[in-house]
């Protein structure tokens, strides 16, 4: 999938899941940031600077949650997945990190296994689909954190 498809998926996730429409439990002062198309927030990893796809900060600027959209999940992602997870809070019912990984539908088990085999704490693995007209849908695959987050985002088009 192309970079423009990646960016479309990032924007859709940020607009429809951080927070969910009508969510009343979203903490006051949380701000959802994306690093597409403009890179704004970086983190340090063992292999250098990385710009996570979605970064949620509180009103003081502290990173609370993070989301990564992986078009082709592989071991090459491990340094920044581990670093991103480590920076997020564990304010979940199960005390896992507020870290989410989104992969093309059909690749969810590979992503889950990669995270778990490498002891990377995460709150959820999600699959996404993109239609020819640019509509995006998100389906939860595994939720290790708050079950509230186990919501499907119906296929829709975001401007």
pLDDT, one tens digit for every residue, the chain (159 residues): 688 999 999 999 999 999 999 999 999 999 999 999 999 999 999 999 999 999 999 999 999 999 999 999 999 999 999 999 999 999 999 999 999 999 999 999 999 999 999 999 999 999 999 999 999 999 999 999 999 999 999 999 986
* pLDDT number for residue 3: 82
What's the pTM value of the predicted model, to 2 decimals?
A: 0.97
Q: Which position has the token pair 């085999």?
A: 117
- Average pLDDT over the chain, rounded to whole? 97
What confidence score (pLDDT) does residue 1 get?
61
| pLDDT score of 154 | 97
In sequence order, what are the beta bridge partners of 55? 33, 66
Residue ranges of domains in the chain? 3-156
| Domain 3-156 part of CATH 3.10.640 | yes
């Amino acid at each position: 999938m192309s970079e423009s498809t990646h960016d479309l998926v990032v924007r859709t996730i940020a607009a429809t899941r951080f927070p969910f429409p009508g969510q009343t439990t979203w903490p006051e002062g949380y701000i959802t940031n994306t690093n597409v198309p403009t890179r704004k927030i970086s983190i340090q990893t063992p292999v250098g600077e990385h710009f996570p796809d979605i970064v949620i900060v509180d009103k003081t600027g502290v990173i609370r949650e993070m989301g990564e959209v992986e078009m082709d999940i592989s071991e090459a992602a491990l340094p920044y997945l581990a670093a991103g997870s480590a920076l997020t809070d564990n304010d979940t019912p199960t005390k896992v990190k507020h870290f989410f990984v989104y992969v093309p539908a059909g690749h969810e088990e590979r992503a889950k296994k990669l995270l778990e085999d490498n002891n990377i704490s995460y709150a959820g693995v999600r699959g996404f689909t993109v239609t020819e007209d640019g509509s995006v849908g998100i389906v939860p695959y595994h939720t290790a954190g708050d079950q509230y987050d186990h919501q499907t985002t119906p296929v829709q088009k975001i401007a």
